[in-house]
Structure 1
Amino acid sequence: MSNFIFEQIETPHERSFKCSIFNKTKPNPNNFKWHYHPEIELVYIDKGSGIKGVGNHISNYYDGDLILVGSNLHHMPFTENFSDNKTEVVIQFKPDFLGNSLSFTPELNKIHQLFIKAKSGLSFSDTIKKEVGETILGLQYETYFQSFLTLISVLNKLANSEMIYLNNSNLEDINENNQLKRLFNFVKYNFKEEINLKQASEKVSMTIPAFCRYFKRNTGKTFIRYVNEYRVKHASKLLMQTDNDVKSICYESGFNNFSNFIKFFKKYNNLSPKKFREKMLQK
């Protein structure tokens, strides 16, 4: 992680987690660029727009966001430049802040699984964001003990809700399903070539309809969407890390049609490749 800044998190001695509130009048004084820390980080932004960069994932948000960043997963500041964002709540805690026996406590097992999934970076739906948002904002007014219980309750709700993995490449480390691992590796090593449903379904010995249902049920997205997002993320990295022209990046990322590449890129990042590169260079 030599390319990223290590952030030292100082948790108050009387608490097991750190809760910080930021806004336009009180910006984050430690607004690093790409950085990482051992603590798991829960970020709630109640409204407004900005860019979220977690691991290899970079995208825009437009109506606030709710994100869980795993231990030592590099990420960008989510409100480096406040764009009508009202409030950002950042909660940081050690992976073992609930004790070393987390995986052996039945009532906390789902939270344990949530922390494992957070290694990939997680984003949550508008529904759960609205459900827990006011609760998260209210943590600042609670006693230490009550806020501790509230945080556990919030984490439990997140663990039982629909979530979006921000880094598909990490899913193979999270999910022990051998069929999914086979599919993830298939995409990882072949995304620059043509990939279709027939090829993918044959990898797991399923009919195409059964495969489509299986993949959507286990990942929350269609296989074609997964492949296109994987390609767009690769293109995003090349736009940030190289001076290659956009058209060559398009083909190097597995797209065989430039107009389709522009369409998918805009759909995923809400910016054209050119505007995306310009914005990232400003960071």
Structure 2
Amino acid sequence: MEFSEKPSDLEVILNEPQHSFRWYEHDYPFPLARWNHHPEFEIHLIRRGTGKLLAGDYIGHFGPGHVALIGPGLPHDWIGDLAPEQCIRGRDLVLQFDGESLLRLRERLPELGELQPLFERARRGVEFTGQTARHAARLLEAIGRAAGLRRLLLFLSLLETLARAGAAESRTLASPHYSPRLDSLTTRRINQVFDYILDDLAGEIRLSVIARRLRMSEPAFSRFFKRTTGHTFVDLIRKLRIQRACRLLLQSRQSIADICFQVGYGNLSNFNRHFRHEMHETPSEYRRRLGQSPGPAAGGSAAASADPP
């Protein structure tokens, strides 16, 4: 499928007439599971699977039970770890709502003013953990089974749960200075970049290739990418490759050398150096700390060619 045939970068959210918010679940991959933005608030639960959450200039790991609140206009994407042709059924549960309309009800329902601080934080994205995330996940599932007034009451209970989360169970994601550019051309270009990176993550990724595809000079592309995502092109590739290596270290018994080459590095020395830079420990230490015994000893010497970024 050509990129121009894929869903729009701006997600258009239409509530059903009988509902004040939208609740739905979907598999992954899914057409709308992309780097996108919208004017609504979004509460997002990951039921299963792992990967990277991108929210503005934030990049971090997610796993089962991950709960996040994304504010209006904040670009976001949950990029999953998938084997070729793999599909994760029912991975995502999504609730989207118009927070501004809700706050306008404060004239009649002043208690709703307690949501203002939560909604302000959400403009940079908020991730929830611990008991808050577990309770929020249960409420999100219950909302999908409810109807009418009961559904609305559960929604308000969910917002209360998130609003009352302490500092130990919530954190803001995007940096304070992050300022996204949300024009459609920018988002189309970023989607093309992610398509290229994720399709070739284990191979050779060249800035010159994607710059040429976007009809930009290399310096212009570098400035555009940094300004839009908050990361350099090389930094983002390193983060995604090391994240994939972490998954393989925990979920497989492959040798560290095999994993090194599988995630796109041409030699073990650079892989170890980049891994330590991102994780503050070696691949062996990471695997040992999290209780996964290594696979067979690495065979052969690492390739001498320079690895991609």
Number of residue pairs the alignment of both structures matches: 193
Deviation at 1:155, TM superposition (A): 0.7
Deviation at 1:23, TM superposition (A): 3.6
Q: Structure 1 residues 40 and 239 mapped into 2: Cα distance closer, same or farther (>3 Å)?
A: same
Amino acid at match of 1:265: E
Structure 2 match to 1:245: none
Any gaps of 5 or more consecutive residues in structure 2? 1-7, 179-228, 239-271, 287-307
- Decide whether the 8 Å contact of 1:64 with 1:85 is kept in 2: no
Deviation at 1:89, TM superposition (A): 1.0
Match of 2:120 among 92, 113, 116: 116
Structure 1 match to 2:47: 46
| Higher Rg | 2
Amino acid at match of 1:75: H
Structure 2 match to 1:265: 278
Deviation at 1:68, TM superposition (A): 0.3
Cα distance in 2 between the residues matched to 1:84 and 1:37? 24
Structure 1 match to 2:268: none
Cα distance in 2 between the residues matched to 1:103 and 1:156? 19
Structure 2 match to 1:72: 73
How big is each residue's C-alpha offset from its partner over 1:137-163, in whole Å with a ceiling of 9 and x where there is no partner?
A: 121110132111111111111101031
Match of 2:161 among 157, 181, 190: 157
Cα distance in 2 between the residues matched to 1:103 and 1:59? 38
Query: Are 1:7 and 2:11 an aligned pair?
Result: yes
Q: Structure 1 residues 122 and 104 mapped into 2: Cα distance closer, same or farther (>3 Å)?
A: farther
How big is each residue's C-alpha offset from its partner over 1:230-258, in whole Å with a ceiling of 9 and x where there is no partner?
A: xxx9556653499xxxxxxxxxxxxxxxx
Q: Structure 1 residues 62 and 140 mapped into 2: Cα distance closer, same or farther (>3 Å)?
A: closer
Structure 1 match to 2:132: 128
Cα distance in 2 between the residues matched to 1:267 and 1:105? 49
Any gaps of 5 or more consecutive residues in structure 1? 172-232, 243-258, 272-277
Cα distance in 1 between the residues matched to 2:10 and 2:22? 17
- Decide whether the 8 Å contact of 1:121 with 1:165 is kept in 2: yes
Q: Secondary structure at the match of 1:128?
A: helix
Q: Return 80-89 or 152-161, whichever deviates more.
A: 80-89
Structure 1 match to 2:208: none
Alignment TM-score, normalising by the size of structure 1: 0.57
Cα distance in 2 between the residues matched to 1:266 and 1:145? 47
Deviation at 1:83, TM superposition (A): 7.6
User: Identical aligned pairs, as a percentage?
Assistant: 20
- Decide whether the 8 Å contact of 2:44 with 2:68 is kept in 1: yes
- Decide whether the 8 Å contact of 1:35 with 1:75 is kept in 2: yes
Cα distance in 1 between the residues matched to 2:57 and 2:15? 28
Q: Structure 1 residues 118 and 144 mapped into 2: Cα distance closer, same or farther (>3 Å)?
A: same
Deviation at 1:38, TM superposition (A): 0.4
RMSD: 3.9
Cα distance in 1 between the residues matched to 2:275 and 2:107? 44
Q: Secondary structure at the match of 1:37?
A: coil
Structure 2 match to 1:63: 64
Query: Are 1:88 and 2:103 an aligned pair?
Result: no
